Structure 1
């Protein structure tokens, strides 16, 4: 969904129709709605918001910007109707494209539901991740490959992650993966629930420290860049890793599509290892959900990571209920305010 929204955002015809007044913003579960709304309004109106409490004056919102031309606002990763109600601008000429796992019939006039990939498309995506080509190699067991790909149920991220996890693996590992995936059938019809259950099988195949490093990623806020030097230092300290070993784990997770490396200084020469201060890490929100899901299997006080998954006004109640017992967490992630 996000990929399609980004293509719309970058499309030259769409930019031309809206006179380059197309704005893209990721919302997420823990969004600071006032900050996002203010940022969007400043882009739309070309004015810096000034005044008491840095709030947008109501009269400005009602009148709209001075430039009466068309505006397109793309809101990605919207989690609730209340979020959407805060971020939709209703002045004439403003269109809003909402990207969400949910439907909002009371506020959105038209809904396009993204379909899962068909069998051939899914197999092509899977083979690209598993073999580096869009079809099953002659040397591979075609029936087994198709069976594993079918277990991904047409979910693109699952196809990429599970395919990458099986790259260069012997047939017995493939067969084991098929069996684990087939046992992960969900009683829920939620695509996201099925996705977590199937992808967990791939993460569980990782070696101990690689798996633990992946689970650490869930401690960071969603849809935010993680400075690479910060992440490497955390891994070195908590998992007793040397820097080369931490980088090897980083590259393994990247190669398995479990994180994305972003060069923040694209015009600067040099490799990743020598210039890692110029890089950051991002993670798909479903992969973060997976890390939280797997980290939460232990009882609260036994968890190695104590994480507030989204912004709240105070500490979670279950933390406070268990405060008289010792916590074994090595990482505590607090997101309040």
Structure 2
């Protein structure tokens, strides 16, 4: 008679044999189905999308089902689930083979079978989503049951989180890493600061943010101090899924009742930890500020590190990762191209490598992608790549760099109201590489193209959003600001060359004739498009037309019909430059921007063509001489604003009083860095429509004419950094509509007009750096009852204190005296020398 132990052993052996057979059957049927789907996809495009879904489902199921079958072999578990899956897969294999043999003309039958394939995919997905998690829960239960006694609760909690810890560990570094040692030290220092609880690591896509946080997560100092949780986020993050990973909610615990429930459970888990916690949220996308705030708990020794392509203004602690420097970029490229280990069959010369590395702009992803694409290639492949780039072909224009293009383009996935940001970003490609772009220029463009709002408030807001997305770098030159739109006359943006190429690439997606913006970059006479030299008239539908020419440009303009162009940007480097003849056809033109990027000033010709532009509203000229425009002003009845930057003062010699009739709607004039301007042109004092006059950094200006009193509509007068200006004329007190007076850094002004109190609508005075203004202010300043803000330095603030006290005590009025911070920087020198 057999003992119970013998019977049990035989039963277990029988189960093991049965389960082994079951596992073999599963593996056989799974392979047959997988091969059938793959074979049909390769041979026919019929039902391709449905079969791809089926194949994807099987790819997901394979590792988990194999684990389940292996477990069934080892333990006495029910065979029902595995048998059910085997039957479904056998049925699926027969259907796939049968449906693939249907002739193309059996439309109705094909539709019927397609519906069955969709249902089959749903059945398999259901097994994947419901039954496999149930099996996994049984495994977790078995593990928990092995822990005996209520005294082992901590062990139970530890085992419950095993899966979470495994899924939230910091991934190991797989790639060659160079140039991140210094950023790692800086990031650690900033993260470990006591006052920092949430730190955002930000940079454009492809700069190595994830690589840097992986290095941080494997750093001995950080691992020794923190328990680290690493969670990849996404464009469409799911709060419950993220917390599910952190808490291992695939066990027997009930599902979260709400987001708040998930957050509460996460906080409870964090409170139980005995070690400081570092939560790394990788790849957080714009618009996720509210998500990040849910992970912020007032707990000691708890920090959050976020990687994102965007800056989140709501969180003040930010570390910006910069592209690699030239030396590190060269090392990374050489490694990726196999130039260091000798795996490349061709070793290019140093100059060729430098050109290619420069084209990658220090972006690690670009260096890796381009390097790998050339690794092992013959000399001709290297020569072709350099030749294409030299001829103006972008690094993003080849299929080889599709991975890089997709990565960068993902930052431009704007929807709804944010689509305007994508449009503004593409406009930035209108300017030459390695040059600063004045903010005032962008305001002129965008105020007419997108947001016709006073002072360009929306344009500035869009620029800040683009800056937060790391698509440009906004450089502010001064800090003593008060009014939106008034501070940007010296501010500028810089755009990385690779991001500029991205902007131009986006512009070229449309057919030539249908592009909203047409950007033409001609270096010398070698990159001229074919249609440029054709005799026939080339129609274009672009709203924005940008043409950049080099030093050797022959000044032979193309024959185009640009009747829809609203913004024209002309960039050149020659000593003499004539406006293009096609200007007379641009009757819808609103904004004209002409910039000389050459070393010497240039004289602008064909100025008479401006008379053909009835809708022109804004003109901006840089480093050009156009005396004829003021001597014989063309009739520009709709001209509202003219800006002259680094233009000679000779432009105003023999200035005609007729300008008041020709430009009868002119409301704003800006003259900046006009080195030989001695006096404000008297002829402009008769343009009574002027509301804003800005003369800044004109160091030889010594006087304003008495006739300035005729500008009765003037609201803003800026005379910033006119260091030789010794006084303001008494006639300025006739400007009854003046709201803002700015004499900052006018070093020679020793007093204010005696009757300045007659400026009854004066709201702001800026006078930082007026070093000679030391005597008490005129008594009439007590009549400035609408004065609300004075921005000055500490010395000048003492002069205003009695006035403020008088306003408060006698008139019950509030006047703010704001001390401007010392702003010593050389940002304003960029690209001016």
* TM-score, normalised by the number of residues in structure 2: 0.21
Higher relative CO (CA 8 A, sep ≥ 6), structure 1 or 2? Answer: 1
State the structure with more CA Rg.
2
Normalization by structure 1: what TM-score? 0.49
